[in-house]
Amino acid sequence: MSQTTLGMPFVIDGPIPAPPKFRLLDVATIVESDPHWGQGGQVWSYPPDLPTVWDPCTLPSSSPRKATGGEIPLPVFAAYTALLAITCTSRGIDPDDIEGYQSRALAAFTAVESYAIESEISKGTLMPLNPHFTDGSVTTLAGGAAVTSQIGMSYLADAIGGTAKAGVIHGTPGTITAWSKEFLVYEKPGGLFTATGMSVVCGNGYLGSTPAAAVTAGKAWAYATGPLQIRRSAVTILPGTAREALDRENNTITFRAERDYLVTWDTALQAAVLIDWTT
């Protein structure tokens, strides 16, 4: 069969959006719980203290008392909504194919939804009172000076090691690429990990995140935290009809894919280091 070479361009569906690998949604624990989390939540953290040793044969009068527990973090997080819109002119909408436009909004949102929570938890743009990686509680490693990829990874590894528990390392795609080139991170079943088995997030939403002044090209901040949890609703497509979606002033129709989130961690570990890829 010969191809048609004359006439208007044929409409071809674009590639289906695909989510990137190693995103925060893939590393954090998705928690299924009752719906009250939509009101926000206060995290009841586990004790952050390190264990000590005790000699039971020493007389109490000549030995310090057994250690008492320190302060337990009780951070409060508010929930928020992530959304992505698809807008078309009303002339281009087929009233019999509304579900087609809604499904396109859903496909695009599913691919990029992790970006929204990565950006928010690393910058606190929408909810600045929520704990986030760059708030006033962050511990800046290496005195805030830029360090090499390898040295930066070592700082973060020791920050996690100081908790004696598992943790998570967070980096931008450029930082992860630099670490990968030096064999500091490895893809294994279940995700991306360091040589010591710590989980690594490659967060597109971390781009531009900084606890200090803006950084120059070739540099980016990386972070260490404890494990994170995500509570989220089902995705909804709003509004439900073309009539409700119609903006008569602009003669456009907009559908939005939306999902509610509550993203939390215990805040006991919150460290940052500035990575210089160029050295």
CATH code of the region 139-230+265-276 = 3.30.2320
Every domain of the chain and the residues it spans = 139-230+265-276
pLDDT digits (tens, 9 = 90+) for 187-242: 999 999 999 999 999 999 999 999 987 888 999 999 999 999 999 999 998 876 66
pLDDT of the residue at 177: 96
Mean pLDDT of the chain: 89
CA 270/CA 121 separation, integer angstroms: 12
Least confident of 179-183, 243-247, 274-278: 243-247
| pLDDT interval class at 69 (50, 70, 90) | confident
Please name the helix (run of DSSP H) or strand (run of DSSP E) that holds residue 77, with its range, or none: strand 76-77
pLDDT of the residue at 8: 75
| DSSP H stretches of helix in 8-165 | 24-27, 98-123, 149-161
In contact, 153 and 177? CB cutoff 8 Å: no
pLDDT of the residue at 25: 96
Residue 248 has pLDDT above 80, yes or no: no
Residue 1 has pLDDT above 60, yes or no: no
